[in-house]
């Protein structure tokens, strides 16, 4: 085995777990995907199923009730689920995204208070960084937190937040020192949904990932104890960027799953669809499309798995590889799903077939957790 392959070789136990997840995705998730998309409903039944199968334990260490199987295994699970339904894969992705700040930077008290219930699936989090005027540039953030004795008082509105309304707590980034300068003086807090002053604002009506509720959580002088601060005061951007180094891998895995699911469906369709007296996969034009789709997606998997191995080892260049994996796989998912629609022709354009949903779902992977333009900036900075 080559050194590269050895860097992310799976154990027999991990292979068995992957095969179990693949079977669950095919048998339980795929049949629900079209309905989840059409009704734009959160799949509570699949969340319960994932809890029963201990999938929500994947992001966590054994001391917090998790599986302790690492970053690679988590993202293999995201990939397998996303092949069937990108919205459902987001449940597992956000379970990691919304707990990474606590896992990486939180106090032991915060870890013990929140992580075990997330590992069982009893609780689910949300990650609230973006605002109407603070997307790629967090310097536009206006949500503020003011210290008042042993509490922090948080006021502001966030935007484009996944898990809105279903999350049990929110990781909220707020300005704690407005004099610190651009993108500085920001701190991170845990805010439970039961806190007085918290409310659910507008929901977005989205192009894709419709089974994941997205919108505006509102914080109107919400008081949280000082113990809910994550890390140090005014070091919130360190928390956010450290989190995204890992969580971008989930987006890459989601994009990879979408691309592989679209490729597999288009290849199966091309075997059965006949025109001019033969299956359309007998025509070179279709063959070349399928060959490119399969090759590009396989290349994305190699990059993602290598990036996951680096994250598991804590390599210094893990952030660069995380950005590259997200950039490549997201762009590839968009390319591949457009080609899948083209292979199906008119059938690809109607909701009776899944590839148009896959194309709509793919687009968000180029946008959230750092646009692909931002990923290029991150990568280029490491090359100076």
Catalytic residues: 369
Look up residue 226 and give its two tokens.
């000082």
- Per the CB < 8 A criterion, the answer to whether 368 and 251 are in contact is yes
In the chain, beta strands by DSSP E: 125-128, 144-148, 151-157, 161-162, 169-175, 186-192, 198-203, 214-225, 229-230, 274-275, 278-279
**Is the CB of residue 288 less than 8 Å from the CB of residue 336?**
no
Closest to 124 measured CA to CA, from 84, 96, 157? 96
From 7, 6, 19, select the one nearest 76 (Cα to Cα): 19
Query: Helices in 40-69 by DSSP H: which ranges?
Result: 44-52
Q: 3-class DSSP state for residue 10?
A: coil
Phi-psi region of 383 (alpha: psi -120 to 50; beta: other; left: phi over 0): alpha
- Cβ atoms 183, 139 nearer than 8 A: yes
190 phi and psi, to 5 degrees? -95, 125
Burial label, 2 (beta-carbon count in 10 A; 0-12, 13-18, 19+): exposed
**Residue 347 DSSP one-character state:** G
Other C-beta atoms within 10 Å of 6: how many? 9
| 3-state helix vs strand vs coil in the chain, percent to 5 | 60, 15, 25
């Amino acid at each position: 085995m080559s050194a590269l392959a050895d860097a992310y070789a799976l154990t027999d136990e991990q292979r068995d777990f992957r095969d179990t997840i693949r079977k669950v995705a095919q048998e339980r998730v795929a049949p629900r995907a079209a309905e989840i998309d059409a009704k734009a409903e959160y799949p509570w039944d699949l969340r319960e199923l994932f809890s029963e199968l201990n999938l929500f334990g994947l992001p966590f260490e054994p001391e917090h009730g998790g599986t302790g199987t690492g970053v690679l295994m988590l993202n293999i699970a995201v990939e397998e689920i996303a092949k069937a339904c990108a919205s459902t894969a987001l449940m597992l992705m956000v379970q990691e995204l919304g707990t990474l700040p606590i896992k990486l930077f939180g106090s032991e008290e915060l870890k013990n208070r929140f992580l075990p219930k997330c590992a069982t699936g009893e609780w689910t989090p949300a990650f609230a960084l973006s605002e109407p005027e603070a997307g790629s540039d967090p310097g536009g953030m206006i949500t503020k937190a003011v210290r008042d004795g042993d509490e922090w008082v948080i006021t502001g509105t966030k935007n484009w937040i996944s898990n809105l309304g279903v999350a049990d707590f929110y990781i909220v980034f707020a300005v704690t020192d407005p004099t610190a300068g651009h993108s500085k003086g920001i701190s991170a807090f845990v805010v439970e949904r039961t806190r007085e002053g918290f409310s659910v604002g507008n929901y977005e009506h989205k192009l894709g990932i419709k089974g994941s509720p997205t919108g505006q959580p509102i914080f109107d002088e919400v008081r949280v104890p000082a113990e809910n601060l994550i890390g140090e005061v005014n070091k919130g951007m360190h928390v956010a960027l450290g989190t995204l180094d890992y969580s971008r891998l989930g987006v890459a895995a989601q994009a990879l799953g979408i691309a592989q699911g679209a490729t597999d469906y288009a290849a199966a369709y091309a075997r059965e669809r006949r025109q001019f007296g033969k299956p359309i996969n007998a025509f070179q034009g279709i063959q070349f499309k399928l060959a490119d789709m399969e090759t590009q997606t396989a290349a994305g998997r190699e990059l993602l798995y290598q990036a996951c191995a680096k994250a598991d080892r804590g390599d210094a260049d893990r952030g660069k590889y995380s950005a590259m994996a997200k950039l490549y796989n997201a762009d590839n998912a968009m390319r591949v799903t457009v080609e899948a629609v083209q292979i199906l022709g008119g059938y690809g354009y109607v909701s009776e077939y899944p590839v148009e949903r896959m194309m709509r779902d793919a687009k968000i992977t180029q946008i959230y957790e750092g646009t692909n333009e931002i990923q290029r900036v991150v990568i280029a900075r490491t090359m100076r």
